[in-house]
Amino acid sequence: MNFPLTFGLNKTGLPLIITSGKLKNLCFLIDTGATHNFLFTYVYEHFKNEFKHLDGKQSLMCIEGHYKETSIIEATFNFEGNDYTSTFSVLDANDAMGQIQEETGIQIHGVLGIQFLMDNKWTINFDKQIITDER
């Protein structure tokens, strides 16, 4: 199945997807440079009963370039009629995301990194600006 990236690219210049289902209308940035997936703290606090809490914490270099210790959760969301699951680090990134929201008018709720793309067998065709679900 192919999903166009044109919505986010046209609106913001960023590859974005919007979820449906229980975690409806969450906006995720697809970041092929991110080694981990991130869900931002304010989203986690709002939907915390929807996530599976995993034991342990991770120390990661985050968006601002500093190391932070993060909680780990497993999240499932629906996109284009299919459920997708992966682990996420819960991160407070209000400063970095606030700047993007101010510049674009779009609130981003998390980042889907390489881990998500591999877990769910997504490939990105940058020339055609589409994601292909190869499951």
- Statement: residue 88 has pLDDT above 90: yes
Q: How many helices (H) and strands (E) does the chain have?
A: 4, 10
Strands 67-79 and 130-133: unpaired
pLDDT at 23: 85
Q: What is the pLDDT of residues 5-44, one digit of tens each?
A: 988 888 888 899 999 888 889 999 999 988 889 999 989 9
pLDDT at 66: 73
CATH architecture of the domain covering 2-133? Beta Barrel (2.40)
Banded pLDDT at 63 (limits 50, 70, 90): low
pLDDT, greater one: 104 or 75: 75
Instruction: Answer for the pair 130, 4: CB distance below 8 angstroms, yes or no.
Output: yes
pTM flag (> 0.85): yes
Q: What is the pLDDT of residues 108-121, one digit of tens each?
A: 999 999 999 999 99
Instruction: Domain ranges for the chain, please list them.
Output: 2-133
Question: What DSSP assignment string belongs to 67-119?
Answer: EEEEEEEEEEEEETTEEEEEEEEEE--HHHHHHHHHHHS----EEE-HHHHHH
pLDDT at 11: 82
